[in-house]
A and B are shown apart, each in its own frame.
Chain A
Amino acid sequence: MGENKITSSQTCVIEPPKTFFWAPLSKPAPAASGKTGTWRTERPVIIQEKCVKCLLCWLYCPEDAIIRKEDNSVEVDYEYCKGCGICAAVCPVDAIKMVPEEWGGKQ
């Protein structure tokens, strides 16, 4: 009791909470579900000499696992690539081959 007691003649002022972090907030970041590269059973391999830099693989890759470089050449981010094979399927000049992943996901 004492100071904090609210009598009927007082107005009750509710202090706003100092921080709002009690709410379950997540922030966008890579690897929310881990290094998804370990899911792969087949890996895309880019044959750089054939690549015409059309960026279709970069456009369609659902995972953002195609890294586009300054000169629009592309590279696969094997840490996260799930091996779906879409990049190989959309490549107009067959510059991406899907090859079986080694046991244990060795690179």
Chain B
Amino acid sequence: MVIIHKLPNRRYGMPGNASCPGCPESMGLRYLKMALGDKAVLVIPAGCSSVIQGIGPKSGINFPILNIAFAAAGAAASGMKAAFEVQGKDYIVVVWAGDGGTADIGFQALSGAAERNEDIIYICVDNEAYMNTGIQRSGLTPYGAWTTTTWTGKKEHKKNMPFILIAHDVPYVATASVGYPHDFIEKLRKAAKIKGFKYIHLHAPDPVGWRFDSSLTVKVAQLAVQTGMWPLFEYERGSFKLSPFSKKYKDPSKRVPVIEYLKIQGRFKHLLNKPEEIKKIEEYIERTWWWIDLLERSTNPAKTARELLNK
């Protein structure tokens, strides 16, 4: 359990950086520092986090960073870890990639690194669009959301990245949210102790691209969990389990109606008086939880996917 008052009183973020007010990425970077301290070295593909650093000679992110081409984060991190191993240094190599850098352009390097079971932590900071270049749709933009390339709302559902990584059968896969830092920090600390490939998908509501007030970042993040849109879970060495904050939302009657989540975001404005569209989002939530139920039942007690196949 992470207790805020026990966290050492020091500078975790870096004030005076270039992020927008209320930015979930700089929030997440602070939690990363709280969890891993000065042991972590970041690999960042193109995205807002490249810009948050500023143009130099000062950097607005409180970590040593290798900035790398969009498609290459997984590969570059694998090489960096190998170099540290040869030198006998025990730094934790962390990829900090946007949703585009993870699910679209960086996908093959990620999948390759996962398949080779490289000893790195891969964090997808999911603000559900290509924010740095001005809010274009990505594979992780949810159904119905406005972006500058989906004027009338996106027609496809969000790609389920955590499940895709579970299918890679890596040692650790987890979802997290900037609205629940305790949970995220705990998962990071756990991941740092596991050898092999670790994937953490961090949900990061973005006031700029999602069109909500900058003071609501935390509220929107928490609503995503409470409506069941973003379930928090862990898949650890073949065993799937829901995280404490999401457990009770397995029961649909406990969930906050999804409209509460949609109506505070400008990107869903055009959907609000279309019940059939909202129904589609509700069905998506149902489907996600159906998968969760399936994974929970089939992987407990812990079984690897290979074991299940051999049965």
Contact = CB atoms under 8 A, between A and B. Distances in A.
B17 A36 contact: yes
Contacts of B213: 85
Contacts of B63: 28
B58 A84 contact: no
Nearest to B31: A59
A79 B61 CA distance: 18
A94 to B, nearest CB: 13
Contacts of A32: 14, 16-18, 53-54, 56, 58-60
Contact of A64 (B4, B14, B56, B57): B14
B26 A62 contact: yes
A89 B60 contact: no
Given A26-B57, A33-B60, A64 B11 contact: yes
B30 interface: yes
Interface in A23-65: 24-36, 39, 54-56, 58-60, 62-65
B255 to A, nearest CB: 22
A68 interface: yes
Contacts of B215: 84-86, 88-89, 98
A34 B16 contact: yes
Contacts of A82: 20-22
A72 B8 CA distance: 11
Contacts of B4: 54-56, 58-59
Contacts of B12: 64
Given A27-B59, A89-B219, 9 more contacts: A32-B60, A33-B17, A55-B4, A58-B4, A62-B26, A63-B17, A64-B14, A68-B9, A88-B215
Closest 3 pairs (CB-CB, A-B): A85-B215, A32-B54, A80-B15
26 contacts: A26-B54, A28-B58, A30-B16, A30-B58, A31-B15, A32-B14, A32-B54, A32-B56, A35-B16, A36-B16, A62-B19, A62-B24, A62-B27, A64-B11, A64-B12, A68-B9, A72-B5, A77-B15, A79-B15, A82-B21, A84-B215, A85-B22, A85-B213, A86-B22, A89-B215, A89-B219
